Amino acid sequence: MSNSNIGNKKQTTRKPVVLMSMGAQERKGHDYQVMTHKYIVPLVDISECVPVLVPTCCGIEDLEQYLDMADGVYLTGAGSNIDPALYGQENETPGKGQDKDRDNFDLPLIRAALQRGLPIFGICRGMQEINVALGGDMYQKVYAEPGFNDHRENTEDPVDVQYSPAHSVRVQQNSWLHQVLGTNEIRVNSLHGQGLKNLGKGIEAIAHAEDGLVEAIHAPSLSPFLFAVQWHPEWQAAKNPDSVKIFQAFGEACRKQVERKAKGKTFHQAA
């Protein structure tokens, strides 16, 4: 934490404010907006940011006001699938739940955050949303695609088994992620049935699973920090050195945004 004295008033640089879009859940006949604890804790403890949980059930009328408050955007995983109509496909998984409110909030949120040069970090569904928001599409059933492995968890397993390391990920040599992690191969958990197919405009893959499926993306031509992963670094993040490095990198990107804002600049002006 850096301090600066202005006159006699001691001013402390504020922590970054990060938007977390919530998802829909129905319980006992009531509709809820939810956010899982495991996503919040590393943002507070490791990224050292202040989360603002945003309901996605009320449309995008206040989107710009939310973004006025934000120094970063953090898009989490969720069991729901993105509506395939949003990337020009028929629905191949009619039995899987969707969350159209979250789709219809997050895709405009991503585009508007990019316009403002805000750091964006996505996990699992969050990575998929970023790809779709920028015109990419998905394999709706990776497990049914020739040549790909099954990346789903066994939902009958205990939760700690579901989130245990499941496969290796090769990190692109000399990529930003390689520099952050200091290695070109890591072991990751895997809890997804869908995966990135054609990449959206400006999106580059920087890590792949053993079967070639995209596991991490960035977009250096679009943003100072647009980074997303298919695995779940938030799971017991403090115990995973790779996760700690990722959440620290996101926090640092958001602190730079705070500094830019304090100087009255946007990323595009400061570049």
Ligand X SMILES: N[C@@H](CCC(=O)NCCCC(=O)O)C(=O)O
Find the residue with minimal CB distance to ligand X. 77
Specify the residue, 79 or 135, whose C-beta has the smaller distance to ligand X. Answer: 79
Give catalytic residues, as residue numbers.
Answer: 124, 232, 234
- Decide: 78 and 33 in contact? Cβ < 8 Å: no
Specify the residue, 232 or 256, whose C-beta has the smaller distance to ligand X. Answer: 232
Token match 């006992």: residue? 28
- Three-state DSSP state, 184: coil
Separation of alpha carbons 50 and 8, rounded Å: 27
Query: Which tokens go with 151?
Result: 């990346």
Specify the residue, 198 or 269, whose C-beta has the smaller distance to ligand X. Answer: 198
CB of 199 to ligand X, least distance (A): 16
Separation of alpha carbons 226 and 126, rounded Å: 11
Q: Which residues bind ligand X (CB under 6 A)?
A: 36, 77-81, 124-125, 191-194, 232
CB of 231 to ligand X, least distance (A): 10
Q: DSSP state, 141?
A: -
CB of 167 to ligand X, least distance (A): 15
CB of 36 to ligand X, least distance (A): 5
- Helix/strand/coil (H/E/C) assignment for every residue in 58-109: CCCCCHHHHHHHCCEEEECCCCCECCHHHHCCCCCCCCCCECHHHHHHHHHH
Dihedral over alpha carbons 182, 162, 36, 214 (to 10 degrees): 50
CB of 267 to ligand X, least distance (A): 27
Q: How many helices (H) and strands (E) does the chain have?
A: 8, 15
Specify the residue, 76 or 223, whose C-beta has the smaller distance to ligand X. Answer: 76
Specify the residue, 71 or 234, whose C-beta has the smaller distance to ligand X. Answer: 234
CB of 50 to ligand X, least distance (A): 21
Q: Which residues contact 234 (CB under 8 A, 6 or more apart)?
A: 38, 39, 41, 42, 76, 123, 243, 247
Specify the residue, 78 or 181, whose C-beta has the smaller distance to ligand X. Answer: 78
Separation of alpha carbons 226 and 27, rounded Å: 34
Separation of alpha carbons 78 and 82, rounded Å: 10
